[in-house]
Amino acid sequence: MKQLFLITILSVFVLAGYAQQDAKAKEILEKVTKTTQSLASLDAKFSFEMNNKAENIKDKSLGSIVLKNKKYKLNVPQMGLQVTCDGKTIWTYMVNSNEVTISNLDEATDDLMDPSKIFTIYEKGFNYKFLNESVDAGVPVYNIDLTPQKPSGEIQKIKLMIDKQKMLIHGAVMNGKDGNTIIVTVTQYKTDGVYNDSDFVFDSKKYKGIEVVDMR
Read out DSSP for 32-86? HHHHHHT-S-EEEEEEEEEEETTTTEEEEEEEEEEEETTEEEEEEGGGTEEEEE-
Q: What is the 8-class DSSP label of residue 123?
A: T
pLDDT for res 21: 63
pLDDT for res 11: 59
Read off the amino acid at residue 91.
Answer: W
pLDDT for res 213: 96
Q: How far apart are CA 59 and CA 48, in angstroms?
A: 8
Q: How far separated are the first and last CA of the chain, in Å rounded?
A: 22
Confidence (pTM): 0.76
Residue 90 and residue 84 in contact, taking contact as beta carbons nearer than 8 Å: yes
Q: Dump pLDDT digits (tens) for 50-106.
A: 888 888 888 888 989 898 888 889 898 988 989 999 989 999 999 999 999 999 876
Q: Which domains does the chain have, with CATH numbers?
A: 2-196 (2.50.20.10)
Helix-strand-coil percent breakdown of the chain, rounded to 5?
Answer: 25, 45, 30
- Cβ neighbours of residue 3 closer than 8 Å, sequence gap 6 or more: 154
pLDDT for res 7: 57
206's torsion region: left (phi>0), alpha (psi -120 to 50) or beta?
A: alpha
pLDDT for res 120: 35
